[in-house]
Amino acid sequence: PDAADRSRAALDQRVQRVLARVDLAWFQLAQGRAADAQQTASQALAELPATATVSWLQPQQQALEVQVWSLLLAVPPAPALATQWLAYDTARSSGFGGDRKLLFHEVDRALVAQALRDDRMLANAKSGITEALSKMSRPGTSLCKPPGTGAHPNWRAPQQMARQRLLSDLGHCRAA
């Protein structure tokens, strides 16, 4: 849509275009193409408005998340990881319920801390994981399960496996 078009249909098209790029970046990560995923995630981020309104909060967080993961899964992890993590963490904490510790986000924080070799950040992440688990009715069960192999491809399998591995290493997943 034209940049001056402020209709609901134009907004929906813009949001869908960003989310399509996010999905493409996850697909590229699942194929082991972290560099391509970084570029695709950067394109998605470039399409976000300078100030995120309510309509853009979820697409912004998803684009930042896939950007972080594309940098995290690069071999070796890309130097921009620290900067992109900060942007993602800030966007997540400024959204709805941003003050709550979410298990997936704290696990991601720990993975980023390990990649950056940041002991202080890792200690904060472990504390956040413990806090998030303490507030769950069934602690960690979904993140402790291996990625599904259903009829649809699971493009987030590398992310899910990394999360499961970290929680297992920390002793939060029971042996099957």
Express each pLDDT in 129-141 by its tens digit.
999 998 887 765 6
Q: Quick check: 43 pLDDT over 80?
A: yes
Q: Rounded to two decimals, what is the model's pTM?
A: 0.89
69: left (phi over 0), alpha (psi -120 to 50) or beta: alpha
Q: Quick check: 98 pLDDT over 80?
A: no
